[in-house]
Structure 1
Amino acid sequence: MVDSRTLNPRTPVVIGVGQSVDRIDSPSYKTWAASDVAAAAAQAAFENTTRADAVRSAIGAIVAVRTFEDTGRPSPFGKTANFPRSIAKRLGINPGYALWTKAGGNTPGDMMIEFSQRIYDGEFEVALLCGAEGISTVRNAHAQGKSLNFAEDPGGQVEDRGSGLEELRDPLLTRHGVLGAPISYALAENARRHRLGLSKQDYAARMGRLFEPFARVAAANPYSSWAVPAFSATQLLEPGKSNRWIADPYPLRLVARDQVNQGAAVIVASLAAARAMGVPEENFVYLHGYAKAAEKRLLARPDIGASPTAHAAVRAALKGADTTVDDIALFDFYSCFPIAVANVVIDELSLKEDDPRGFTVTGGLPFFGGPGNNYSMHGIAEMAGRLRRQPGKKGFVGANGGTLGKYSAGVYSTQPRDWTEQPSTDLQAALDAVPSPAIDDSHTGPVTVETYTVVHSKTGPQYAVAVGKNAAGRRVIARTPEGDTKAAAHVHEADFLGRRIEVAAQGDINVFQVA
């Protein structure tokens, strides 16, 4: 056990965490904008330090995770022109530096790594990391014909890193109807099923067993975005009016819930600053090991149903913490869809779906809520609180961005540990060096299906998308003809994995017919 008195005073520590929720079904519903929700979480984090006034006045940097509104989602009631400064204004602080991050569910983990390093380097003494979404309020007000005004411009300095969406977009996927996360993840999920050689029924049962414990955790979490039932595995999978199909193999209850008003905040300080402010040492949570990495675009991956990036980042974070998965007491894996969890805990770590430690401390994105890019800030905040109640134990938080596209991994503990620089440069170089399959944008001829999905609306199946290899071993993407819902319904009822389909190039897309 390391004596904290021997640590480098520049060592970064988490000193305060906070969460907030503004549920539309609550008697105390406040109709908050995202800035209000984030500020409430930050205020809770100040109070969590037990030295709120001292910490508030010491904030040198505020970091705000980009909202969905700032990545293309409509904002019918207006929005802030400077998200971090709007939050700061509500808190009555004016830090010298404000950062507006890129999009991506990996962002909270990345920011923990970046600002821990910047604090260690002496650039800042105390930083506030925060974010929120107010999507539920916007949707609810719009549906009821109410008028709100969330437009504001607080002014002030901000480093705006942009949305980063250009890193996530693929025109070839878009042309073929792969629009949004459920569709692209469905392709990855079915590719994983293909690799495992499982039937639709057997694979669905595994998804249900994996997510059933998540729903139980969410049902007991006071910060959950809604009064979530403790769904059974059967209830998660059984399609119906309240659990309609989204994209095969996902009914609604297996999909991240973005209709939320949730915020989370984490305060990081140098050890010297934390002590000077009088924050109790039992509040300190240390980042022992960490890593981050980015994946190739979806169609450029050798296996669409795998995530070597997540696997490598997890291994590196555990190694950096000088620990093994057996020594981790608590987990929180990003859980937008089942594969985001399974590809790490089962495929890489060889854990069982019913591991008694569980894989979430919040309840996960389909149940607790999926507050945009900021979900894993909740994971870190909840993890820190639980680790304080289990001194010396270790917790793991895995944050995922894009379609299994980016991963940020961290191992946390109250056990004192000096900060060590753990660059991911070599890890990323090794991932980038893996050859990608050749892709035929335009193809006519037979294709053997690697993966597929069927996209549904509220009225039923709309179209199917398939990805496979042609006779030359080149990857091809195709979709059913526009408006041919009968073809989509046929694919939904069948199982097209491993089938040979006939594809024809038509304009800028490839089309396949269903006999």
Structure 2
Amino acid sequence: MEADRIPVIVGAGEITERPADPREAHEPAALMAEALRRAAADAGAPDLLAALDSLDIVNSVSWPYGDLPAALAGQLGLRPRRLVYGPVGGESPVRHMHEAANRIARGESEVAAVVGAEATHAVAQAQKQGITLPWTTPDPNWSRTRGRDFLHPLSVRLGVADPVSVYPFYENAVEAFLGQTPAEGQAESAALWSRFSSVAARNPAAWLKREYSPEEIGTPGPANRPIAYPYTKLQVANPMVNQGGAILLTSLARARAAGVPENRLVYLWAGAAAVEPRDYLNRDHYHESHAQNAVLDACGRIAEAEGTEFTTCELYSCFPCVPKMASRRLGLPPGLAPTTTGGLTFFGAPLNNYMTHAAAAMTRALRERPDSAALLYGQGEFVTKHHAVVLASRPPRQWRLPQDYSVQAEADSRRGPVPAFAETAEGDAAIETFTVLHDRDGAPHHGVVILRTGDGRRALGRVPGSDAATIALLKRADRTPIGAPGVLRPAADGLQDWSPA
């Protein structure tokens, strides 16, 4: 493959700021511009920024821009001929990088970048203090796409239409499928998250720079309130950050012409992507993701064909179930911290942009490990969108780019029958999976159970917070309630309440 079509990562830039006065914080477009400048400086070739011909902007949520690409172009003082604002999705930075590499491999681009930023912490502090931020004039018609826009209305009514309330369905289902008691599964999560925090503590760009013990993470309390069972505050993504990140890619020929040292180049070999049905009620089960498995399997085959294995992994870590499932699929050894970044709880979760920071951390790690390969795996929505790429500190033996990276057919071929959903149901119903939602003071508000009815349909049921005995059943440490028989009955407010048989 000709050097002018070989894509390489040459620079990674990050910025994390936490000023006492939110008016001193930079708006997201300014954070993005600074991250791009730092990426070019990291490459040792600041002039590459002026040559940028393709720029993908990761979807940003914390500030309501009317035209974010224009705001960023104004901050940079340049406008690449291809300037694209991406859709929502935690996997999107990985996809943007993969597509940028494909464009370079096709000869359509020579210098490309992926950038994103959020300033959620500054916005929240300003709102709390009644401060008007001196940023780009907000768009009064701006709105945020959320799960309640495309999930079943009953999910919305029951409060299980946000990631923090949906991922527990997978967490609890995975524990039961593995034969773990809830106590065993939660201990594994706490230990894993402690290892993530240890990595974040050593990452200069992290938001929380200290190591947390498994006991601190797994024990509910005033500073670590329960949110959605089994998750406590220290087990969920933390979006209250001001962070920006950027990745700069060029062709190998352009990198050499710019004087980038060979030992600072990172190669994107290839990757894979697939999705689950967008509404999680339309999936066959909750103890695994067929799309995740297909993506990870495909990347494993790439490494195997190259005669190597992953010495480093970044497994998306919005909630523990994601890297737990992925680690098992990859056959990673227990006790490994599958991150170079620190995870979305401790490094910080700049909403859709975490994986840009992960790519930056991975780039630094690979520069220190000659002849090594790494897996960069991102996920979006509700265990829905999956994209991974194989990065390496050496070129591949077999060139695969440009690449059609979809493994959707493989994922779909593994999917089993999906039960019909019953909006209203009465009578016998057993728990398929579940969670318990908590108030801000840590008290159980209500439980939500995904059920299988006597005739095999799927249904949703509520466990009122006032039903202390059933809430206690759902939260037992020694035995999962999954599979427990019970009864669905209509409630006065039109919902359906579940109680054990």
Give the TM-score normalised by structure 2.
0.91
Aligned-pair CA distance for 1:484: 3.9
The aligned residue for residue 369 of structure 1 is 348
Letter in 2 for 1:194: A
Q: Is the 8 A contact 1:63 1:129 kept in 2?
A: yes
The aligned residue for residue 151 of structure 2 is 169
Q: 1:114 to 1:504 in 2, by over 3 A?
A: same
Aligned-pair CA distance for 1:438: 2.1
Letter in 2 for 1:148: L
Q: Is the 8 A contact 1:82 1:153 kept in 2?
A: no
Query: For the residues of structure 2 that align with 1:402 and 1:149, how far apart are their CA atoms?
Result: 32
Q: Is the 8 A contact 2:103 2:402 kept in 1?
A: no
Alignment match of 1:199 (pick from 168, 181, 197): 181
Q: 1:324 to 1:402 in 2, by over 3 A?
A: farther
Local SS of the residue matching 2:431: strand
Q: 1:166 to 1:182 in 2, by over 3 A?
A: closer
2:454 equivalent to 1:471: yes
Q: How many residues align?
A: 488
Aligned-pair CA distance for 1:361: 0.4
Query: For the residues of structure 2 that align with 1:213 and 1:181, how far apart are their CA atoms?
Result: 23
The aligned residue for residue 38 of structure 2 is 44
Q: Is the 8 A contact 2:488 2:496 kept in 1?
A: yes
Per-residue deviation, residues 438-491 of structure 1 (Å, max 9, x unmatched): 22121111111011110011121111100121111111111134x747477545
Local SS of the residue matching 1:262: strand
Give the TM-score normalised by structure 1.
0.88
2:429 equivalent to 1:444: no
Matches within 5 A, 1:348-363: 348-355=329-336, 358-363=337-342
Alignment match of 1:341 (pick from 317, 323, 328): 323
Letter in 2 for 1:266: I
Greater CA drift, 412-421 or 101-110: 412-421
Query: For the residues of structure 2 that align with 1:199 and 1:390, how far apart are their CA atoms?
Result: 39
The aligned residue for residue 409 of structure 2 is 429
Local SS of the residue matching 1:365: helix
The aligned residue for residue 399 of structure 1 is 378
Q: Percent identity?
A: 30
Aligned-pair CA distance for 1:94: 1.6
Aligned-pair CA distance for 1:492: 5.2
Q: 1:98 to 1:452 in 2, by over 3 A?
A: same
Q: Is the 8 A contact 1:330 1:359 kept in 2?
A: yes
The aligned residue for residue 510 of structure 1 is 496
Query: For the residues of structure 1 that align with 2:25 and 2:469, how far apart are their CA atoms?
Result: 44
Local SS of the residue matching 1:89: helix
Greater CA drift, 497-506 or 400-409: 497-506
Query: For the residues of structure 2 that align with 1:299 and 1:197, how far apart are their CA atoms?
Result: 23
Q: Is the 8 A contact 2:52 2:80 kept in 1?
A: yes
Greater CA drift, 280-289 or 43-52: 280-289
The aligned residue for residue 64 of structure 1 is 57
2:98 equivalent to 1:113: yes
2:123 equivalent to 1:138: yes
Local SS of the residue matching 1:57: coil
Q: Is the 8 A contact 1:288 1:419 kept in 2?
A: yes
Letter in 2 for 1:394: A
Q: Is the 8 A contact 2:115 2:247 kept in 1?
A: yes
Letter in 2 for 1:353: P
Q: 1:150 to 1:261 in 2, by over 3 A?
A: same
| Aligned CA-pair RMSD | 2.6
Matches within 5 A, 1:236-251: 236-251=217-232
Query: For the residues of structure 2 that align with 1:9 and 1:406, how far apart are their CA atoms?
Result: 32
Alignment match of 1:32 (pick from 23, 26, 31): 26
Matches within 5 A, 1:289-300: 289-296=270-277, 297-300=279-282
Aligned-pair CA distance for 1:207: 0.8
Give unpaired runs (5+ residues) of structure 1. 1-5, 70-74, 155-159
Letter in 1 for 2:370: P
The aligned residue for residue 385 of structure 1 is 364
